Each structure stands twice: as C-alpha cells, then as structure tokens.
Structure 1
Amino acid sequence: MAAPDEPRTRRGPGDAPARSRPVGEVTRGTTGHNRLRRSDRWTAAVYGPLLVSADRPLVVDLGYGASHVTTSELFVRLRRVRPDVEVVGIEIDPVRVAAARPYERPGLSFARGGFELPVSRRPTLVRAFNVLRQYGEAQAWAAWDLLRSRLAPEGVIVEGTCSEIGHRAAWVALDARGPRTLTLSTRLAGFERPSDLAERLPKALIHRNVPGEAVHGFLRDFDHAWALSAPYGAYGVRPRWMAAVERLAGTWPVATAPPLGGRRRWRLGELTIPWSALAPDERPRP
C-alpha cells in the first residue's frame, strides 16, 4: 500500500516499519455496497461471542478502498452484536481517508495507515479484504505476521478476497498462533463446479493449487462430490451444494457443527475447513 509514484520509498509488510510512513502499497480501491456481506455475516456469527466478551472491543477494517461503504456496513452489522464496538477504517491513500471522514460518527472513524495498524489500542478483530492479492506469497505471510503481532489477546484477523460484486469469496481466519481456518463462500447460482472458487483463494494458497498440494486435492474432491450430488440438482442448486458438502465431510475435516459449519451455514453457500488440512508443506522464503 506506498504511493505508486514513489517506488524508492515503497516498503513491503516484511520490512521494518518507519514511523513516518505506513507499511504497504496502495490497492486498486474497488468496492461497493454489500460486496463484503458474506464475510460480515460469517464474522458476526463466528466471532460475535468474542466481541461480546471483549473489554472495549476495537475492530479495524484495513484497506477499505475508494469508498467508506464497506467499513460503514461492517460497523452497522457488528453494532447489532456489540452496541459499543468501535470500528476504524484504515487506508494508506490520504485522499481516500479524506473522502471517508465526512461519514464518521460516534464509534466509527477513518485514519491513514497500513499493516502497522496505527490505532489507539490493540484490535480485537481485523478485517483485510482484497488487500494482499497484489503481493507475493512470502510478502503475504509477512503481512500476516505483522498483523498478528498487533492483535489484542485472543484477537483474530479475517483476511480474504472476493469477486467484484462479492458473489464469490474466500477468507482465512488467523489468531496469534497463525492461520486457523479457510472459508469458501459463493452465491448458489452461476458457477459450474466448486473449484471455480480457486480464483479467490488467499495468496498463501492460490499458487499452491497444483497436483501434489493439499488444496488441489481438496478442490478436486469437492468437484467429485459435486458431480456425485447431481441428482439433488432436481430440487435446486442449494440442496445439491449441501449434499456435496456433506459428502465431502466424509473424507475431509469440513466443519459440521456451529458456529463454523452445519446445515445452517452450508445453505448460505459456505464451507469452512481447518487450515491445517490445506496448509502448504513449507512456508515460502522472502
């Protein structure tokens, strides 16, 4: 996220942060109403109890883009869970910060910054969507490390990517120990097979979707379960998706119970699996 016209001062998330400059590079800034609704809904369901139990919970929306809208929507949705939660939208581009500030209200603010998270206290939750796709795999891991070092105790990060209008998405949940889960989420229409979601895999996995890697085997088996569940398609795409996920759960450790899994989440077009089941054999070197 440094300005693209300043390549000599641009720093990646693995570099030591300087006090005067945010860590990262400017993103494309693409955003829109309800683009992140799927991840917001999941975050509220899965980590709502964390927000409820936290002392003065602070949530950071990192790299919110050219519009305040997804940060404002996150604020409204999380306030239904915890009425006094504070949300700070952070952007590296000062023009975007200035454009968002007229939409501030009590509990919602915007500030300039990057992966160093320049906020008043350690956040309970960090959301970073469509931020790391432009980085290399090793840089993405470094960004994860830096973000995790800034978390409050028991804090979490939800980092992912989605399509332009949010109909396809994938995100990783991380805590102080590292990545914990991967979630795939899709609108149950307009796709041919589950592996179509591969294009939305996080940076740490997207280049690992090749034979011999766990994520490739998982998507292959998901496609096979989808094909075997074709008879359920007579009742609609949703029953077929749910049947495929249930079949896949027989051979992969797919979450089958709330809050991460079960039929209530599956019917939304979601699937969550432990990161350990898909993790690459080794982490890339910088």
Structure 2
Amino acid sequence: MASSPLGRPTRGTTGTNRLRRIDRWIAASAAFRRAADPLVVDLGYGASGVTAFELAARLRPVRPDAEVRGLELDPERVATAEAQLAEVRAGRTPFPADLRVSFGRGGFEVPLPGGRTASVIRAMNVLRQYDESDVPDAWRTMASRLAPSGVLVEGTCDEIGRIASWVDVDATGAPLRFTISLRLSELEHPGIVAERLPKALIHRNVPGERVHALLVDLDREWDRAAALSTFGATQRFLATVAALRAQGWPVEGGRARWRLGELTVPWAAVAPAD
C-alpha cells in the first residue's frame, strides 16, 4: 500500500442518481453476483457520499451481504461523507440505517482493510484530467486490488447521468468490453456519447479508429430507424442495435439490455488502432 493516496484530486461534482446506470450494470454483473466477498469500491465518489449510499441501496436487493467502501483523496471529503453516514445511521435519511457502507482515504492503490480485495471497483469520472498514456498504468494499479474474478468499471458520464460509457477491466488490468448507456427518451442521436467516452477512447473518435466507426454506424442506423419513433424511442433503439449486429458488429447481450439504452461490444471491437 502506498504511503499516500495515488492520484490527482478531481472537481468532484456529485449528483443524486448520477451513476444509476453504472449501478444497474454492476448489480447485474457476474463479478458481483457470484463474488465470495461482494465488496464494491466507489473510488473517487466526489464532494458527497451520496453515490456510495445509492450504490449500496441498489446492490442490497441482489446481495443482502453487499458492502460498499467509498474512497477519496481529500480527507475533508472523507469527513463529509462520514458525517453523512452518521445521518444515515441515525435514520434521518431515505437510506436504510443499517446500510453496509464505509468511507476512507485512498486513490488508485485502493487500500482495503484486512487484506480484502474488491469484487468490483467503480471509478467513474476519475481519469478525465489524465493523459491517455496514463490510462493503462491506472487500470493495472486499480485492478491489482480486485479479486481474481473481479472487474474494474472505469468510464465517464454527464452531470445528470443520462449519457454514460465505460470499460470493464479484469484483474490483470486488461480491458474486456466497452459499453454505452443512454437515456432514450428525448435522445436526438446516440453518437452524443462521443462527449462522454472514457479517457482511453475520447481522443480516438476520428476517422480510421474503430470507436469512430462504431459511432458513425450507430447514428446512421438510428436515422434509418426513424420511422419506428411512432412506437417509441425504445423500439427505435432496438432496431438500431439489431441492424448493427446484422452488419457484423459483435454486439453482446440481448434485447433486455438494449431496452435500457445499453450497447456493449468486446474491447477489441473499439480498441485504439495503435
């Protein structure tokens, strides 16, 4: 464990329900559901501990033994979150008083008590200010604190949680898959996710790169499916994703996930060209 937390402080904007799409993804993941120790880390939770409380509340119906550990670099943010936790324990919030949440100081080294490892580490909006070249080392450092079957979920979302994308990384630090998640109602074009791509991809949205080709095809098929808008945005998105799969894009999952505005492909399908 490092003598001081690894990483740079973030702006730390924290919004209620901002990370609901990622929470849902984690709750459905095999890494969490099958974990011997369902410890989930909320790394870089920001100026408020609310995202850790929300995550724990959403995981609890799936695994009542789930536990969330929130980590931040700034000791003042840890103190704020612990004060909020005291309010939860006192029954003065909408969250269950016995919610299994704790907070501590930490960064990419992900310090955990008792030598425990995490089933999932969620690191959303923490690499935005880094260089793309910093990403592999950050992934490996965080992933080293995972259980062997654990997963790191690293990505970016907008301030109100309607547009998000992330990469699943295994315990060796190798990226596994890439997911976009969009609120479909009032969506003009799914390619808007380009503004919220993970650091490993955001500068790769240019001709000749795979992620650019995916977003171009996604928008094109969305436009082609415009007639289905009469039946709602969900039906339009279902048709869009089905068309992508028919073209040969290796889209994972099925209609149950697509209905949520999610699209997942193996990392190899969008990996940078060099």
After TM superposition, the score normalised by the length of structure 1 is 0.86
User: Does the 8 Å contact 2:27/2:33 carry over to 1?
Assistant: no
Aligned partner of 1:229 in structure 2 is 225
SS in structure 1 at match of 2:235:
helix
Pair 1:241 & 2:224 matched:
no
Q: CA deviation at 1:123?
A: 1.0
Q: How does 1:23-172 map to 2 (within 5 A)?
A: 23-47=6-30, 50-102=31-83, 103=85, 107-120=100-113, 121-172=116-167
| Residues 55-114 of structure 1, C-alpha deviations (whole Å, 9 max, x = no match) | 232211100000110100101111211111221000001110001113065531000110
User: Does the 8 Å contact 1:51/1:81 carry over to 2?
Assistant: no
Q: CA deviation at 1:18?
A: 4.1
The one-letter code sitting in structure 1 at the alignment partner of 2:27 is A
The RMSD of aligned alpha carbons is 1.4
Equivalents in 1 of 2:234, 2:143: separation in Å? 36
Equivalents in 1 of 2:184, 2:6: separation in Å? 37
Alignment counterpart, residue 271 of structure 2, candidates 271, 274, 279: 279
Aligned partner of 2:185 in structure 1 is 189
| Residues 103-141 of structure 1, C-alpha deviations (whole Å, 9 max, x = no match) | 065531000110001112111110011111111101122
After TM superposition, the score normalised by the length of structure 2 is 0.90
The one-letter code sitting in structure 2 at the alignment partner of 1:233 is S
User: Does the 8 Å contact 1:124/1:154 carry over to 2?
Assistant: yes
Deviates more, 1:140-149 or 1:88-97: 140-149
Equivalents in 2 of 1:74, 1:116: separation in Å? 21
The one-letter code sitting in structure 1 at the alignment partner of 2:57 is V
Name structure 2 gaps, 5 residues minimum: 90-97
Equivalents in 2 of 1:92, 1:160: separation in Å? 18
The one-letter code sitting in structure 1 at the alignment partner of 2:197 is L
The one-letter code sitting in structure 2 at the alignment partner of 1:216 is H
User: Does the 8 Å contact 2:2/2:109 carry over to 1?
Assistant: no
Equivalents in 2 of 1:53, 1:183: separation in Å? 21
| Residues 172-197 of structure 1, C-alpha deviations (whole Å, 9 max, x = no match) | 11102411111111111333212111
User: Does the 8 Å contact 1:265/1:271 carry over to 2?
Assistant: yes
The one-letter code sitting in structure 2 at the alignment partner of 1:163 is D
SS in structure 2 at match of 1:98:
helix
Equivalents in 2 of 1:46, 1:245: separation in Å? 21
Q: 1:51 to 1:42 in 2, by over 3 A?
A: closer
Q: Which 4+ runs in 1 deviate beyond 4 A? A: none
